[in-house]
Chains A and B, each alone.
Chain A
Amino acid sequence: MTDNRASSDAAATTQAEVTEEIQQIAKAYEGGRDGGPTDGVETQPRLDYPPYRSSVLRHPTKDLHHADPEGIELWSPVFGQADVDPLEADLTIQRRGEPVGERMVVTGRVLDGEGRPVRHQLVEIWQANAGGRYIHKRDQHPAAIDPNFTGVGRCLTDGDGGYRFTTIKPGPYPWKNHRNAWRPAHIHFSLFGREFTQRMVTQMYFPGDPLFALDPIFQAVVDPAARARLVATYDHDVTQHEWCTGYRWDIVLTGSHRTLMEEEVEA
């Protein structure tokens, strides 16, 4: 395939060059931590992570301003049974036929920074199909669209903070960050906690993916232990006989600022 784009085009960069950039940043992070205070661990992705080319013009350059949450920020919007049908947690029954691919259950708990279950809160997911294709007009990857799979699901956490989706294992897919860039298979998660400040969007990955080291979005979480928290665990007890494989993934939101009322903690 001929590439006529200018060499300055990000998509003309090779994987080797991007991998080198990723490794340099990782080395600098590890070096900076040698003998340094252990609380220098970076628990979140870097907003400024040049190997992910789209981040270059889209990250704030000034420090985030510290604010004491007040008023509306101490609460989260409320979603209830009227908002979410329980059937929305099964992504394999949304169309007339069976979707193609490895049927799987992904389940786990949503906790806050103090280890308390985050109960009755909205969890939304979206993902590619088994061939790595999204149902989205901008996804022009020439893999088959599965007419029986939209890749979108919702549920509310239960009284123990638990969530559970039945879905199809997504495939990896190419993207245009650089030449031959492929995203590791992942499921996008959107989560609400009890407070506005706990809002999070993240991605769940699958254990042992060979694309991990090559992917600038996954690697933007520079701390290896923090990065590992994005990877689900295969759980044979979740796997079901003659039916599906099972993965477990717990999600920890940040701590809450408000003193929780009894009914919120124990309801």
Chain B
Amino acid sequence: MSRTPGDSAVSRAATPGQTVGPFYGFALPYAGDHLLVPASHPDAVRLHGRVLDGAGDPVPDALLELWQADPAGRVPRATGSLRRDGYTFTGWGRCATDNEGRFSFTTLRPGAASDGAAPYFALTVFARGLLNRLFTRAYLPGEPSVLDADPLLSSVAPARRGTLVTRPDEHGFAFDVRLQGADETVFLAYPRH
């Protein structure tokens, strides 16, 4: 395999991000994108909510991506998220918001990836008007002792911690993404990013 000299171990500056714009809607969404399992699956749960802007108005042209561990806390390594076979749990989904800013994923409850960590859904947020993607986590609701012990949650100011925790409801979990404002969602940055 050819390798350009200087490729290895040379630090390169990342390409900047840009907004998905308004017209991703015919490119990124696809049939079954938000159905990580069929709704008829006996263990199916729903993660749903709204994406809201700084005025509290719905963002109808946002896109969320979900990436999660399986119920045993394992990271899925199977293909088939774009062409689902209906049986394999790939852990990944995509959902565009509707005219009311709503999104909904049908999935399985994630397990905790390690001892002492609380289980969560990893989310990526894209939107027209949002110049680069945002990362956040949606934790399962749980005992305060479990949530307080989580390394990330315990590092967030108590007043804002709640923005990272889902609310239980009839079918699963409710979670709103607030891009701006007093109750703005905690968005994450990772080292070297």
Binding site for B on A (CB under 8 A): 41, 43-47, 49, 52, 54-62, 64-84, 111, 113-117, 122, 124-126, 128, 134-136, 138-139, 150-152, 154, 159-160, 188, 190, 196-197, 199-203, 217-218, 220-221, 225-227, 229-230, 251-255, 257
Contacts and interface: CB of A to CB of B under 8 A. Distances in A.
Interface string B65-77: 1011100010111
23 contacts: A47-B130, A47-B132, A52-B131, A56-B54, A57-B54, A57-B129, A57-B180, A58-B59, A67-B188, A71-B69, A71-B73, A72-B75, A82-B83, A115-B12, A126-B28, A134-B26, A138-B25, A150-B26, A200-B14, A201-B18, A229-B16, A254-B192, A255-B11
A200 B133 contact: yes
Given A65-B186, A70-B151, A229-B15, A126 B191 contact: no
Given A41-B13, A49-B131, A78-B81, 18 more contacts: A43-B13, A54-B129, A62-B160, A62-B186, A64-B188, A68-B190, A71-B73, A72-B91, A73-B122, A73-B190, A83-B80, A83-B83, A113-B11, A113-B13, A217-B18, A226-B13, A226-B16, A254-B14
Contacts of B24: 126, 188
Given A60-B134, A64-B187, A83-B79, A230 B18 contact: yes
B65 A199 contact: yes
B121 to A, nearest CB: 9
Contacts of A56: 54, 129
A58 B56 CA distance: 10
Given A65-B186, A217-B131, A255 B192 contact: yes
Interface residues of B, number: 81
Contact of B15 (A76, A218, A252): A252
B190 A197 contact: yes
Of B26, B78, B190, most A-chain CB atoms within 10 Å? B190
A58 B53 contact: yes
B129 to A, nearest CB: 3
Interface of B: 1-2, 6-28, 53-55, 57, 59, 65, 67-69, 73, 75-83, 90-92, 110, 113-114, 117, 122, 124, 126-135, 151-152, 155-156, 160, 179-181, 184-193
Contacts of A69: 190
B26 A77 contact: no
A217 to B, nearest CB: 6
B26 A115 contact: no
A18 to B, nearest CB: 15
A234 to B, nearest CB: 18
- Contact residues of A: prevailing secondary structure: loop
Nearest to A223: B16
A58 B129 contact: yes
A252 B130 CA distance: 20
A45 B179 CA distance: 16
A201 B2 CA distance: 28
B184 A199 contact: no
